[in-house]
Chain A
């Protein structure tokens, strides 16, 4: 079965440090997404990608960068982590239109910035 995996599953970082969250998908989907989940907000879109080499800003991109080096991999980068970026981060993959437009989610990464 197709899958989306994330690493690490848990991460503790220090303020000002660099954090990289990784995502891999075996769905062969063109699109990939990074969301963060906070109580009372549901999931909010940080960055997304149409395919290898593409990254686009979502609704809350400030403080985050993304990288899509291949069809399968999509990373989220926090160059200077802050406590406000403590959250649970979800990666997802999907296609653009039609009946294939649903997204498949990874298990999440719990990030704590001290």
Chain B
């Protein structure tokens, strides 16, 4: 069965620093992958999506992700974090049932205070 693992429950980062969030997937066949962001007390918003093609995909607000079939990974990156990026990020893979999603457990991005 398909699954998604986000190994980091929390990531601490300073404003202006770079960010990488890890995602590993298990899926038989070619996966369709997504990153969503959730702000406090809100629903999920799509950051970016991967369909078979270019392994690097660009999303909103400067986010990008890189697909690796050999590593079964779909890591999210941002070159310079803004305070508005403090949120929870979910990686997901599309299943074969009405294109429902299987989600990872999420990674919370929190500020590194001086």
Chain B window 30-64, contacts with chain A (Cβ cutoff 8 Å), 1 for yes, 0 for no: 00101010000111111001010000000000000
Q: Does B99 contact A (CB under 8 A)?
A: yes
**Using a CB–CB distance below 8 Å, which chain A residues touch chain B?**
4, 31, 33, 35, 40-45, 48-50, 56, 58-59, 90, 92, 94-99, 101-108
Residue contact B103 to A31, C-beta cutoff 8 Å:
no
The 7 closest A-B pairs by CB, nearest first: A42-B103, A105-B43, A105-B44, A43-B103, A42-B105, A31-B98, A107-B43
Residue contact B98 to A96, C-beta cutoff 8 Å:
yes
Most A Cβ at <10 Å: residue of B34, B45, B100: B100
In which size bucket is the chain B interface?
20 to 34
Residue contact B98 to A56, C-beta cutoff 8 Å:
yes
- In the bound complex, residues from chain B placing their C-beta under 8 Å from that of A31 are 98-100
- In the bound complex, residues from chain B placing their C-beta under 8 Å from that of A50 are 98
Closest A residue by C-beta to B6: A42
Q: How far is it, in angstroms, between the C-alpha of A45 and the C-alpha of B101 when the chains are bound?
A: 8
Q: Which of B63-107 contact A (CB under 8 A)?
A: 90, 94, 97-106
Residue contact B44 to A94, C-beta cutoff 8 Å:
no
Q: How far is it, in angstroms, between the C-alpha of A73 and the C-alpha of B49 when the chains are bound?
A: 26
Which of B36, B51, B99 is the one whose CB lies under 8 Å from A95? B99
- In the bound complex, residues from chain B placing their C-beta under 8 Å from that of A106 are 43
Known: A42-B104, A43-B90, A102-B49. A108 touches B99 (CB 8 A): no
Q: List 17 A-B contacts (CB under 8 A).
A: A31-B98, A33-B98, A33-B101, A42-B6, A42-B105, A43-B101, A45-B101, A48-B100, A56-B97, A101-B94, A101-B99, A102-B46, A103-B46, A105-B36, A105-B43, A108-B41, A108-B43
